[in-house]
Amino acid sequence: MRSGFVGVLLAAALACRGERAAPAAPEVALFSTVGDAPAAALSAAAARAGVARVRRVAAAADADVLWLGDPTEAVEAEALLLPGAVALPEGVDSRFGDPRGRWAPLCARALVLVVAPGAALPLDPVNVRDAADPRLAARVAVGPPGAPGLATPLAALGVTYGEASLRRFLALLARNRTRVAESERAARALVASGEAAVALLGSEEAAAGAASAAALEVVVPDQQGRGAVVLPTAVAVAQRAAGGAAAARLATWLVGAEAEALLAARAPGFMPLRAGVPVPVGVRPAGNVVALPLDWDRLAAEKRRLAPLLAAWPP
């Protein structure tokens, strides 16, 4: 009772002095497919900064803001998005953005190679195609090609080099007795344990391997060729939030410099798009990487078309 009475007196005193408590930040519903840990980290940071109280929702249709794992997901969700609501942030190369203004980029993830340190290999893997080299037979691991982390990058290879080239690559991987793990994390574990020497992974799992006791080497591939597959995550405002300032404010904050630096530090494997952002071991800023130029709408269509092939691999 005494504590309650003291609280009443304090409130009365503040009122007499003309002081008012700061208004609470507005609530914004967020749908995210980037993973729970990154979404939780930025949701908490947005609340601390007074930008928004983020309420995570399980369905895109119930969201005010969407943070999607790669641009193909934004293309698929286009009917829900409000074009022009969030602009390409200053300091970010337009190649990582959306020419149609449906979404804006926040960091990126890439398809990379991880190599066991000290492995006596007959070649230095520096290109994606090296994973199918016969000299590495039975020494390469991958996650499920039909899973989101690999399906989009493989579709990007199909868009760039043609479906026939992608099919040859997959056939060579299968002929090479490539280990297909149940997940990217399991593929990384095969390299860490010595059961495989090389794995084809997304940059998040690769960074985890670099920071682990195994100290796996991360190789961003094809830097002397046409470039690596680098896919930004996509932040968009939903049409259902049209006319409201809170959703646009959160989306703009998410693609801003503060959130990007926080994400790069808290979620290793997310590659910052701005220059000068510190990165952990095993990660390179996206601006320092030669990346394939990609048309996001064409990539989304190719991903849909190749889905049955990737889901059925290996034959």
Beta strand 104-115 pairing with 198-202 = antiparallel
Q: Tell me the C-alpha distance between 289 and 110, whole Å.
A: 10
Q: What is the DSSP string of the chain?
A: -HHHHHHHHHHHHHHHTT--PPPPPPEEEEEE-S-HHHHHHHHHHHHHTTS-EEEE-SSGGG-SEEEESSHHHHHHTGGGB-TTSSPPPTTS-GGGS-TT-S-EEEEEEEEEEEE-TT---SS---SGGGGG-GGGTT-EEE--TTSHHHHHHHHHHHHHH-HHHHHHHHHHHHHTT-EE-SSHHHHHHHHHHTS-SEEEEEHHHHHHHHHSTT--EEE---TTTT-B-EEEEEEEEBGGGTT-HHHHHHHHHHTSHHHHHHHHHHSTTPBPSSTT----TT---GGGS-B----HHHHHHHHHHHHHHHHT---
Alpha-carbon distance values, 11 to 5, 6, 25, 68, 248 (Å)? 10, 9, 20, 43, 33
Averaged pLDDT for residues 128-140: 97
**Confidence band of 289 (pLDDT split at 50, 70, 90):** very high
For residue 7, pLDDT beyond 60? no
- The predicted structure's pLDDT at residue 19: 39
Write down the pLDDT at residue 21: 42
Q: What is the pLDDT of residues 173-196, one digit of tens each?
A: 999 999 999 999 999 999 999 999
- pLDDT of 4 > 80? The answer is no
- pLDDT at residue number 243: 86
Give pLDDT, residue 148: 82
Mean pLDDT, all residues of the chain: 92
- Residue 303 one-letter amino acid: K
Q: What is the mean pLDDT of residues 65-76?
A: 98
Could you identify the residue written with the tokens 């991360």? 218
Q: What's residue 23's pLDDT? A: 60
Tell me the two tokens of residue 17.
């002095």
The predicted pLDDT at position 27 comes to 97
Rounded CA-CA distance 149/145 in Å is: 8
Residue 213 has pLDDT above 70, yes or no: yes
Half-sphere exposure of 313 (CA within 13 A, CB side): 28
Query: In this model, does residue 295 exceed pLDDT 70?
Result: yes
User: Is the pLDDT reported for residue 13 higher than 70?
Assistant: no
Q: Using CA atoms, how far apart are residues 114 and 281, in angstroms rounded to an integer?
A: 13
Whole-angstrom CA distances from 15 to 5, 24, 98, 148 are: 15, 18, 49, 55
248, two tokens:
């646009």
* Total count of residues recorded for the chain: 315
Q: Is the bond preceding 314 in cis, omega lying within 30 degrees of 0? A: yes
